[in-house]
Amino acid sequence: MKKANKPSVQFIEIDEEHVDRRIDNFLMYKLKGLPKSRLYLLLRKGEIRVNKKRIKPSYRLQLGDVIRVAPIRLAAEIKPARPSKELLEKLSSKILYEDQDLLIINKPAGIAVHGGSGIRLGLIELLRTMRPEARFLELVHRLDRNTSGCLIVAKKHSMLRKLHQLLRERKIKKIYVALTLGHWRKKINKVAIALRKNVLRSGERVVKVSDQGKKALTEFKVVRDFEIASLVEVKLHTGRTHQIRVHARISGHPIAGDDKYGERAFNRIMRDKGLRRMFLHAEKLEFVSPSGNKISIEAPLDEELLSILKQL
């Protein structure tokens, strides 16, 4: 009987294309099929080293670094999750913009941006399945699983670095739309309250107001008042985890369908009207790309959200 090939030690040398990437993100892309939890365990145990030294998941790769990966089972030996043809076709129809450097997709609600924590395939893995010929596809920023709308994906690592720089310099304008409980006191409301992220043992992220947290500024502009709710346009001046959701909650106007920071009675009313997701949508993106292209993209609301607005 033919013996199965034993996995062997891998050595990966870093070239210019992958300089400054976090090692955990790089290896999740390179070692396809390896669960994120196991990757972190291998890093902690020293089974994965850089230049013969132990490193943390946040380590950023440098030109010429040599990564040593101990013998492990990889994608070829792990049965891959197979997305349906219908799902891939749906995602293909959601691409709003594409050039040689990046693409912008209208992410559907209910799809996580990446795999992990029990999720076999996230949006980025699905896009890589759709584009097997692509040498590089990586998220530029993130959206919560139940948030829909504009999401940028870089097609080159050099472009990823430049787009991250634009984000740090607040040169990418991001506008959201949300349905919130009650009526805001003013047409435009600015909320500047520091937020601190906590990660529970389960891996769940919970964000709380804290003086020890990071500065966060959100601007809520009322678009339309309904009997028990308000449709608001939201402008992010900072990009903290769950920022819009927490700032809406502490302002007394939680987002419809938010099962973490929302209001149960309000969510129940919205469910009765057919809302099965959180009413938060990344509607617009505006920026000048590093290639000089002026990009202004708007993602339309899906039928479920439009139906809720019609009923209200």
Dihedral sign computed on CA atoms, order 48, 52, 56, 58: negative
Answer whether 150's CB lies under 8 Å from 106's CB.
yes
Q: From the CB of residue 137, how many other CB atoms can be counted at a distance below 10 Å?
A: 19
Tokens of 16: 């210019």
Tokens of 126: 């699905």
Specify the DSSP element, H or E, that contains 268. helix 264-272
What count of residues does the chain have?
A: 312
Answer whether 104's CB lies under 8 Å from 66's CB.
no
Answer whether 195's CB lies under 8 Å from 213's CB.
yes
Strands across the sheet containing 66-69: 10-13, 66-69, 48-50
State the residue for tokens 């076709």: 89
Tokens of 174: 């991001």
Among candidate residues 24, 65, 144, 258, the one labeled active-site is 144
Q: Is 108 buried (19+), middle (13-18) or exposed (0-12) by CB count in 10 A?
A: middle
144 annotated active-site = yes
Answer whether 255's CB lies under 8 Å from 232's CB.
no
Please list the active-site residues.
144
